[in-house]
Structure 1
């Protein structure tokens, strides 16, 4: 596991995403639209996967495996016809030491979740809960699908107002370190813009246009890598 998930506190998911691209790590983002119930909520921790089949028992069993700071990752196949998690499950998550919940699907009991305060991320709110109980898979607590990605306990979850990312725990330290470097570069670029030095001047944009005129394959991203900029990865 990464040594310092607290290092995410000064970062953002866009910075983590850029760091993944810079390092050649798989970019595993939750589908667009997975957002916090309360603006400003953020969480980072080991993934605790659970595939939902219509009954809350899978969450309760997942909590028996939880370690402090884990993030419950619920695979409800992106369904928009039912909410699969509400106030009682989230309260129990907190009692189990879980730091947050991310749902590939919907939540309910929104005012209660706001009051509970545990970070919850989902597609949004929906009053009806499940009316189905489907057969449970034998590996329902081992892997969770989240959009196009498979998530296991070997992954770390990073989530904030811009969405949710999954990163291999074995690479999380390197990703965070790179994200901090990108952050420092971008803050310095922002400071210089405010001081009157345009981003075009900082990045030698005129030189880039001249180089591209000579070599149409010369990309701005390649130019930034040569000049040390951090606008895009």
Structure 2
């Protein structure tokens, strides 16, 4: 999956979801990689955190190579829920990265380990609580407004993190490649002096919108074969 995502980006995948009518499920703003430039793409391995790492160790027992551990810590800002030992153990289990709806710690060690970790940021204190575990602890993870399961694929880069249902991944990636190719061609033409306004026949769009206020630029782009919004 990471190879398929190698020449794409989360913005391209997001645009492809919109174009294909696939639910757009993005992690909340602020979720980013501990180390810049890291990328993730793999099946979601969901887990809910209740104050102890035991649930992570249990989740690793069901990991397949390339899975991405998706940790639901409720977006908490008062504790870090994952650190160096949990990430080291993830690597031994074949996990390709971690995405945390919350905070991490042991930043220098995580940088040295090198396994991609995405979170809201770092915070020294770990948990001092132990909450009651839910039956769904290893079945699904909440991440912002979204519910993530093993039927989802996780994509992450410097722009953020997306969750896409595995059933739609092939079509979404194919659409993302087409959008990428169109945008690359448009960028080359802009560099050669062919403005984006001319490429997209923007004057014609304005004329038609004047006659039909409901006519959107997105509709126009699809008619002329351009790409910039999705």
The answer to whether the aligner puts 1:35 opposite 2:36 as a matched pair is no
After superposition, the C-alpha distances for 1:116-158 in whole angstroms (9 at most, x for unaligned) are 0000000000000000011111220000000000000000000
Instruction: Name the TM-score, length of structure 2 as normaliser.
Output: 0.99
The alignment's TM-score, normalised by the length of structure 1, stands at 0.98
**Alpha-carbon distance in 1 for matches of 2:114, 2:159:** 19
For residue 90 of structure 2, give the secondary structure of its aligned residue in structure 1: helix
| Bigger Cα displacement from structure 2, 206-215 vs 144-153 | 206-215
Question: How many angstroms apart in 1 are the aligned matches of 2:4 and 2:66?
Answer: 14
1:47-86 matched pairs, under 5 angstroms:
47-86=44-83
Superposed structure 1 runs of 4+ greater than 3 Å apart: none
Aligned pairs for 1:131-150 (under 5 A) are 131-150=128-147
The question of 1:16 aligning with 2:20 is answered no
CA-to-partner distance for each residue in 1:80-123, whole Å, 9 max, x for gaps?
00000000000000000000000000000000000000000000
State how many pairs are aligned.
Answer: 230
Measured against aligned partners, the alpha-carbon deviations of 1:200-222 in whole angstroms (never above 9, x if no partner) come to 00000011111111111111111
The CA distance in 1 between the partners of 2:218 and 2:157, in whole Å, is 26
Shift of 1:5: 4.6
8 Å contact 2:2–2:40 — kept in the other structure?
A: no
* Residue 50 (structure 1) shift: 0.3
SS in 2 for 1:139: coil
CA RMSD of aligned residues (A): 0.6
Q: Distance in 2 between matches of 1:52 and 1:222?
A: 44
Query: Paired residue for 1:231?
Result: 228
Deviates more, 1:118-127 or 1:209-218: 209-218
Query: Which of 84, 87, 97 lines up with 1:87 in the alignment?
Result: 84
Aligned to 1:159: 156
The alignment status of 1:176 with 2:158, answered yes or no, reads no
Gaps of at least 5 residues in structure 2 are none
Tell me the distance in 1 between the aligned counterparts of 2:129 and 2:212.
Answer: 60
Summarize deviations over 1:43-86 as a string: whole Å, max 9, x none. Answer: 10000000000000000000000000000000000000000000
* Structure-1 separation of matches of 2:152 and 2:39: 17
